Every structure is written in structure tokens, then in C-alpha cells.
Structure 1
Amino acid sequence: MTLPRSALAALPLMIALAAVASPVAAQERMTLGWGRLLTNDAIGDGEDRWRSGSYVLSWVRGPEWTGALPSRPGEILEFRLRAETIAPADLITPAALDRRYVGALTLGVHTQFETRGIESSLGLDAVIVGPQTGISDIHGDLHDLLGLAAPTVFGAQLGNDVLPTVTAEFGRSFEIGPQAHLRPFVEMQAGAETLLRVGGDLTFGGFGTGALMIRDSTTGQRYRGTGISGADGFSLTMGADLAEVYDSQFFLSTDPITPKDSRARARVGLHWQGSQNEVFYGLTWVGEEFEEQPEGQVLGAINLRLRF
């Protein structure tokens, strides 16, 4: 089998990922947990447009999990697989001033650690885009299965490419009351999209207590990468952030639209945890990403861990 040229271009990045993932501790690595989050505007504002949907799966490995982040990078490794669809508002007859279709498949490795009270996350990803991902094929098959009209936007989708991307987030948690925590953060990203983001998250309840928390890149919702922890019951999460955007490879210079140089997000979520099961549902308002976009959108996010 011959690898596509874009896959060959990703090999140096994959080698770098493997180097980062090499063991840094004498202890044998083990699986510490799995994290996952499904986002879709069908479970948000009920539309099928723009940041239409995504699914992320995180595999967390390390020598052990003590309920707190290690002090050194590389001890805990999160291997991330993420698929996302970005689309114009109308898949059949798109408006002339709407964004093009993007199917993005992300493969990466991230490491989380804490130094002097600063919770840090560093990551390196290969963001693979274009028909080569097969995402548009799956999207079309889903429309066929549901008896919907076949999308016509796939032919003009973003072309095949591999976009190396680095991400860094730094935050600090403050206890502001009984079972209440505030965590301001700053995030920097360069690659598929280059931006600087500042924001914060507020949690009422035990959600995330003693767990490794991971942030979804589109909604900003946080999900857990380690197993069930914290007290049983309900938790409420809220958050917001503002980003200065310097570049986005999801827009082409030949497109007749103008990317916005700032983006805003606001989110809320409800989490329930039992002795063996947990459910999370969240809503995120995502502001306009290009000047011609008439309004923002609301994305739903869901995570279920059910044991029978």
C-alpha cells in the first residue's frame, strides 16, 4: 500500500511525537484512564452548520495517578484522537459568503504537569485535513442513511494537507468557597490556527476533584481523562474566554470572506456522578469566526460513563 503524500509529510511530526512519548520515569507506564467528549450543534441549537460536530478520545498513560498532577512534563502522557466537521450553514446550496467545508482529523500527544501551583498542558498535534481523512465520505453516508439530500459542498472543501500544531495552556485553581473553584487560564496555539486565548472556569461541586482534566479545543468544555473521582452528586460548571486570532488555515486567502481577529465563547455544564456511572451535558455559545457570519451558534456536549 502506498501512503498518500500528505501522510508522508506527517512522518517527521509522528517521529517527534514518539520522541516526546518515550518513557521518562523508571516505572512502567499503565493506562490511567480514557477521556471522551461528543459535541454537536444538533444537541445544542438544533442546526447543522459552521462548527457542526466533533468527537475526541483521550488515552492517558503514566506510571501512576495519585490524584494530583506530577511536577515534571512527560510523566503523564495523553494520546489524543479527534475528528471534527466544519461546514457552511447550508450543505446543499451554500451562500456565496459562507465558509468552506473542512474535515479535520487530529492525532497528537499532550502532557500535563504542575509547577509552583501552575497547572500546565503542552501538546503537539498533526491536524490532517481534506478528503484524505474520509470525514466527508462518512458525512455523506450519514445523510444517505437518514434519507437526507446529498451535500454538494464536499467538492470545494479544504484540500489535503497536514498542519503541525503546538498548544500550551497554563492555569491556576483557587478555592473560593465550599465545593467551589475558580480556574483562570491562558492558552497559546500555533499551527492549524494561531491564537492567544484568556479565560476562566468556575465549578460548583466535586466535578474534576482529583482528576486529570482536559479541554476540548472547539467548545472549551473540560472533560476528565482519568477514572471516576470526587464526591457523588451534581456539579455545575461555567466558563468563558476571549481569543485573539492571528491566523487560521481553515480559511483560504482566495475565499470571499474575512476571518475575524477575535473570538468569544461562553459555556455551562451539568455533571452527575453516581457510584459507578456519570453523565455530563454542556452548552457552549461560540461567537462568529468570520465577518460575514450572521450570528454565533450553540453547541451541545455530552459524555456518558455507564456501567451495567
Structure 2
Amino acid sequence: MHKAAALMIGMALALGAPAGPAWAQDVSFLGMTAFHDNDVLFDGDDRWQTGGASISWMFGPEGLADLPGAPGELWEIRVRGQVISPDDFTAPAAWDRRAASVLTTTLHTHFETHGVELSAGAGFALTGPQVPLIRFQNVIHTLTPANDPLVPGFVQAAQIPNAVYLTGIGEAAYRLRLGEGITLRPFAELQGGVETLGRVGFDVFFGAGFDRGVLARDGTTGFAYQTIEGTAPRGVTLTAGADVAKVASSALLPAPAYSLTPWRLRARAGLLYEGRRVSVFQGVSWLGPEFTAQPSGQVVTAFQVQYRF
């Protein structure tokens, strides 16, 4: 197991250990949210980071809408599916990456101390044909009117193989008020498991949609998003951000067949509309090349829709 993964898993277990009053409160179901990303709208085809979705179930004291002051009070169970493809999966080039299916399940605790927003999570990730996401993608393609091509059997057979990875992830962020309705939120992240990396970046919010609530971060696009519905005030918020990561190792781009880019870059912008009964987020993220033979970056869209009955 990678040292970074072991460190993050140990941190999550330590933070979740019984700590007096934090465990004395009743735990209630606070809601579920989903966040999606897909490359088809701008890239026009399924390639590289082609699609993914995260689903979160939130648990904590009844009525909780903001970060608590101690770990172990607010919990998130997150399940994330991800599909990766070559540039042309019907006839992959020799230089291109292999297809991959990844399913990650993690348990996170979120809290705030001295103005610093912290989250730590641990779990496991599955790769390979044991995760049927590429087959599910083919089913979706058969149902679309565009008659999209299917991932052929030889590409599926050559995908990243079956494996299980212990996973750890942690993030620290801080809000800086730059003016009326403008907030800068720099962050740092450590991740170990399928990919082991360190990342630093920022988000800037023009509007009040992210002033409160509990934020998570999409692993593909980098967008911060609300995990508890109804915590954002009504209105429109523009968000933009960028980050850079140093990747130490990647089971999705295994050496020596692939050489990782020295730095992995992302830039993004999105719009959140929070209404009385509906919340809609739409964003666009540019992802830089992940391996040196990749000829260009790509553009991926992200979206989230929540409705209150």
C-alpha cells in the first residue's frame, strides 16, 4: 500500500475516533446529492476522461447545515464511478492510454477549525472488468438516437485489469472575503490509492451560493459543489478556479508504458442557480494532458440538479 494512502486512512480513522460530545449526538440522514461530468458536449466524442458521477449520502445531527467544529459529527458516504477511454476507442493508437473503469467508495468526515475547512476520507477503489461501467456505457450508446459507436471487445479486454486499492483523501481550504459577494477559497489536497498525488489550487465565488454549507470536490473536473440541499441562499453564483497537481504514481497510466506529465493542470468556470425548489449547476472544465504522449487537453462539462419536494 502506498505510504500516502496509509497516512490518509490513518488520519480518517483517527479523526473518526470517539471524541466525547461529538458521538453523543443523534445521527440523522441529511440528504443525498449527485454530481456528474461528461466530455461529449465539447469534445464531441468519448475520450480520455469521458464520464463520471459521484453520489453522496450525508449523515449528522438533525438540522445541520454547516460544518461542525469537530470531526466525527458530520459524515459522508461517497460512491464515485469513472470511465476512461482512448482518444479513438474503436481503433486506439499505439501511443494512447488504455480504457479503464473505476469505482471508488469512501467514508469522509467534514469539519472546521480556526477557520480552516477540513475533510478526510478513506475507503477502497476497484478497477477492471469487475466494474461494469464500460459495458453500461455501451448500453447507453445503444439507446441514444445518435447511434454512437460501442467500445469493441478487444479494447475492453485490454483495459486496466482487476485490482483493489486502499484509498485515502484529505483536503484543507480557507475562505478569504475579497469584497461584497466575492470569496476566494484556496485549498490543498492529498490523495493516495489508484492515483497518488498532491494538489494545490483555488476557487473564487461571485455570489453567495457557496458562502455556507458543506462542500465536496469532484475528482475529475475539480469543481466544488454543495452536498446538503437547501443550504445555499437563493440567487445566481458564478464560480471559477484552477489547480495544479504533482502525480507520484498512477495505476491508470502504469509505468513504464506511460510517462506522466510533470504537472497536471485544470481550469474551470461554472454557474449555480439556487431557486425556491430547484438548484441547478452547470460548469465547464479544461483538463490538461495527463501523460506526455497525450497531444492535447480536453474540455469536460459538469452538472448537478437538485429538487426539493
TM-score, normalization by structure 1: 0.89
Is contact 1:169–1:188 with CA below 8 Å preserved after alignment? yes
Show the counterpart of 1:285.
Answer: 286
List structure 1 segments (4+ residues) > 6 angstroms apart after TM superposition: none
What does 1:92-241 align with in structure 2 at a 5 Å threshold? 92-146=90-144, 147-152=147-152, 153-241=155-243
User: Quick one: distance in 1 between partners of 2:17 and 2:97?
Assistant: 36
- The DSSP-based 3-state class of the residue aligned with 1:132 is coil
Change (3 A) 1:72 1:44: farther
- The DSSP-based 3-state class of the residue aligned with 1:143 is helix
Offset at 1:21?
A: 8.7
Change (3 A) 1:52 1:96: same
Q: Which runs of 5+ in 1 are unaligned?
A: 1-12
Show the counterpart of 2:43.
Answer: 45
Offset at 1:307?
A: 4.5
Is contact 1:209–1:229 with CA below 8 Å preserved after alignment? no
User: Quick one: distance in 1 between partners of 2:132 and 2:18?
Assistant: 30
User: Quick one: distance in 2 between partners of 1:108 and 1:241?
Assistant: 23
Show the counterpart of 1:76.
Answer: 74
Offset at 1:209?
A: 2.7
Task: Provide the alpha-carbon RMSD of the alignment.
Answer: 2.0
Offset at 1:22?
A: 8.0
TM-score, normalization by structure 2: 0.89
Is contact 2:196–2:247 with CA below 8 Å preserved after alignment? yes
Offset at 1:145?
A: 3.0
Moved more, 30-39 or 261-270: 30-39
Is contact 2:209–2:235 with CA below 8 Å preserved after alignment? no
Percent of pairs identical after alignment?
Answer: 39
Moved more, 96-105 or 68-77: 68-77
- The DSSP-based 3-state class of the residue aligned with 2:130 is helix
User: What is the identity, as a one-letter code, of the residue corresponding to 1:277?
Assistant: V
Show the counterpart of 2:5.
Answer: none
User: What is the identity, as a one-letter code, of the residue corresponding to 1:289?
Assistant: E
Change (3 A) 1:77 1:149: same
Is contact 1:174–1:181 with CA below 8 Å preserved after alignment? yes
User: Quick one: distance in 2 between partners of 1:219 and 1:139?
Assistant: 20
User: Quick one: distance in 1 between partners of 2:142 and 2:64?
Assistant: 47
User: What is the identity, as a one-letter code, of the residue corresponding to 1:186?
Assistant: A
Offset at 1:44?
A: 3.7
User: Quick one: distance in 2 between partners of 1:157 and 1:307?
Assistant: 40
Moved more, 58-67 or 114-123: 58-67
Offset at 1:20?
A: 4.8
User: Quick one: distance in 2 between partners of 1:63 and 1:200?
Assistant: 30
User: Quick one: distance in 1 between partners of 2:252 and 2:214?
Assistant: 30
Offset at 1:118?
A: 1.0
Offset at 1:80?
A: 0.3
Show the counterpart of 1:246.
Answer: 248
What does 1:254-265 align with in structure 2 at a 5 Å threshold? 254-255=256-257, 257-265=258-266
Offset at 1:30?
A: 0.6
Q: How many equivalent residue pairs? A: 292
User: Quick one: distance in 2 between partners of 1:179 and 1:164?
Assistant: 40
User: Quick one: distance in 1 between partners of 2:42 and 2:117?
Assistant: 30
Is contact 2:65–2:228 with CA below 8 Å preserved after alignment? no
